[in-house]
Structure 1
Amino acid sequence: MKTAELTAAPLDYWVARSIGNSPVIRKVDGKAVCLVSWMPFEPSTAWSQGGPIVERHHVAIEWDNLKSCWIAKLVHIPRPGGVELFVSFGDTPLVAAMRALVQSRFGKDVYS
């Protein structure tokens, strides 16, 4: 699946993997939910979970007037002298930021 198209539980799942957790997706009250250690993990919608990730990974988020959406930028330095910039878009700041994080770890496509 394209990282740029991830939303909801699948996006949260890949964020959890990006930061070293072992998530699962389960149905809870008929809704797919990402769980980490059997607790809901929803950084793409909950600032209490996503905010610290944005801060820790220095994700820059801003509104893009031309595209009418949020844009997130994440700089990754994989080795001395090397710099990679990852740019993602989303309907919300957290979705854009979490997509940028996943893209920085797994690339433009993710596979189960």
Structure 2
Amino acid sequence: MKVSELSGGLLELWVAICEGERIAPAHPEPNPNTGRYWLQIGKGYSVKECPPFASSWCAGGPIIERDQIFLQPPSEVHYNGGPNHGWQRYDHWRATVSARTRTLPAKGALDRIIGHGGVGRGAGETPLIAAMRAKVASHYGDEVPDEVPA
């Protein structure tokens, strides 16, 4: 699945995985009331609901600060030279994980990233969604695996 298409509970699950969390094997489906997935606590059977990284500044804000994620609002930008010179309009928020803090991509993702303009970029309707997509892209590149890691 493309990182640019991740949203809601699935986006938040992938952020949690990037943060070192694991999905609870006994609860592979999201909570029907909130749409958030269940995470395993330790090695036992205790579970907790995935934090709302993409919808709450209390959950996503510390990641933005720690990973030095740059946020850019919808805007128009002028580029000089090159094949795309002139004004470019962005109707969405954009985010980039700082090269100082981003992690190495998952095994096999590096080849997909080289030649695609770098690592850790995201876009979205809100700054939190853009930042969390950038966070996931900094670990996995443009696409996450089809199966959530256990």
Displacement after TM superposition at 1:52 (Å): 0.5
SS at match of 2:90: coil
Q: Report the identity percentage.
A: 29
> Does 2:61 align with 1:51?
yes
Structure with a larger share of its residues in strand? 1
Aligned CA RMSD, in angstroms, stands at 2.1
Write the letter of the residue equivalent to 1:28: N
Matches of 2:23 and 2:62, distance apart in 1: 18
- Given that 1:34 and 1:42 are in contact with CA atoms closer than 8 Å, whether structure 2 keeps it comes out as no
SS at match of 2:142: coil
- Compare CA radii of gyration and give the structure with the larger one: 2
Displacement after TM superposition at 1:68 (Å): 1.2
Provide TM-score, normalisation by structure 2. 0.64
Displacement after TM superposition at 1:26 (Å): 3.5
Provide TM-score, normalisation by structure 1. 0.83
Aligned twin of 2:36: 33
Instruction: Report the more deviating stretch, 16-25 or 2-11.
Output: 16-25
* Equivalences for residues 60-99 of structure 1 within 5 A: 60-65=70-75, 66-77=89-100, 85-99=119-133
Write the letter of the residue equivalent to 2:72: E
Distance 1:50 1:18, change over 3 A: same
Aligned twin of 2:143: 109
Mark the runs of 5 or more structure 1 residues left unpaired by the alignment.
none
